[in-house]
Structure 1
Amino acid sequence: MQMSDTRQIAATPAEVYAALLDPEMLKACVPGATEVSGSPEKGFIATVVQKVGPVKATFKGEVEITNMVPDTSLRIDGAGKGGAAGFAKGGADVRLVATEGGCELSYDVEAKVGGKLAQLGSRIIDGFAKKMADQFFNNLQETLEGPGEASAEGSAPEAEGKKGWFGRSKS
């Protein structure tokens, strides 16, 4: 299964790049992550609980970040085993380009599953993989930009004091 997407993020490429290398940010952004530890140099260890169709599993795995070009691009590869549910592995090539309003993040993702998960059929698996990638990058964007950015613009009192991940005021 492969997919690609692009999104605009109101943060500099350096801020987005730093966020992608931060284990706490990864824990906050990976849907179902209960634990993420490690470093970009040595790799991360993660525990993720997910339900795919009728199969719910706790995946324990490793995430490796390679091809790092500071503030420009990186590759994220991960593999996890979910016991009787099977395994999941995949990777993403992430590129960052500075734009007038922050940066453009584009990614190409591929994912593979095996075991009981593979028996669910490609339609369910492809939909789930797309949902996971979208949720990860949505969570990253919301965490960097601050919550409710678009909906809070019209109501200045509520927007006052909102801060993004780096503590910048977003109003």
Structure 2
Amino acid sequence: MQIAGEAKFDLSKQELWEILHDPEILKNVIPGCEELNLLGADEYEVVMNLGVAAVKGKYTGHIVINNVQEPVHYTLEAEGSGGPGHVKAKMDCKIEDSSSGGVVLKWQCDAEVGGLIAGVGSRVLSGIAKYMAGKFFSDIKKQIKNKV
């Protein structure tokens, strides 16, 4: 499954970079996140409680951030599994200046889904993934407003 999108922020590249790499903020904005533990530089362990249609469950996973070019680019690789299935994803993230001011985060994600969760169907999963990405970015914007 492939999905992509972008989100605009009224921040500098460095400010957005710091927010996207702050474990405390991420724990509050990742949908279903119960735990986010920093294991080392750019490496996390995550516990999430998510539901897709009637398939719900707890997932444990591992996230690694690679190809870091601070403050403009990184690749996030994640693997997780739980009772309802497993997910493996690779997301490429680029932070660029916006022509209207601020910055835009452009992302592309390739994900492999297996187990019961895959039975939901790619069309439904794609829609849910886009919804979750939208929620993630709107929650980041809420966190930014709360800090100001």
TM-score normalised over the length of structure 1: 0.79
Q: Distance in 2 between matches of 1:27 and 1:77?
A: 17
**C-alpha distance in 1 between matches for 2:128 and 2:90:** 15
Residue by residue over 1:126-159, the C-alpha shift from the partner in whole angstroms, topping out at 9 and shown as x without a partner, is 1111112222222223322x1xxxxxxxxxxxxx
Query: Do the aligned residues in 2 keep the contact of 1:76 with 1:93 (CA within 8 Å)?
Result: yes
Q: CA deviation at 1:82?
A: 1.1
Secondary structure of the structure 2 residue equivalent to 1:97: strand
Q: In structure 2, what is the Cα distance between the partners aligned to 1:40 and 1:142?
A: 27
Native 8 Å contact 1:40 1:64 kept in 2: no
Letter in 2 for 1:88: V
Name the residue aligned to 2:97: 98
2:52 matched residue in structure 1: 52
Structure number with greater Rg is: 1
Q: Corresponding residue for 1:121?
A: 121
Instruction: Note closer, same or farther for the CA distance 1:73–1:39 as it changes in structure 2 (3 Å cut).
Output: farther
What is the distance in 2 between the residues matched to 1:135 and 1:40? 27
The one of the two structures with greater contact order (alpha-carbon pairs below 8 A, sep at least 6) is 2
Which segments of structure 1 move beyond 4 Å, counting only runs of 4 or more? Answer: none
Alignment-derived partner of residue 38 in structure 2: 38
Q: Could you tell me how far 1:64 is from its partner in structure 2?
A: 0.6
Query: Under a length normalisation based on structure 2, what TM-score does the superposition of the two structures give?
Result: 0.90
Check whether the contact 1:74–1:94 (CA below 8 A) recurs between aligned residues. Answer: yes
RMSD in angstroms over aligned alpha carbons? Answer: 1.6
The percentage of aligned residue pairs carrying the same residue is 29
- Work out the number of aligned pairs and report it: 147
- Deviation, 1:91, is 2.1
In 1, are the aligned partners of 2:74 and 2:93 still within 8 Å (CA)? yes
Q: Which has the higher strand share?
A: 2
Contact 2:65 2:75 in 1 (8 A): yes
Deviation, 1:40, is 6.1
- Deviation digits for residues 94-120 of structure 1, max 9, x if unmatched? 111134532111111222210111112
| Deviation by residue 1:51-95 (Cα, 9 ceiling, x = unmatched) | 111011101001110111111111111111112x11112121111
Q: Structure 1: state its 5+ residue gaps.
A: 147-162
Residue 87 of structure 1 pairs with residue 86 of structure 2: yes
Q: How does 1:1-171 map to 2 (within 5 A)?
A: 1-38=1-38, 41=41, 43-83=43-83, 85-99=84-98, 101-144=101-144, 146=145, 163-164=146-147, 168=148
**Deviation at residue 42 of structure 1 after TM alignment:** 5.0
User: Tell me, which stretches of 5 or more residues in structure 2 are unaligned?
Assistant: none
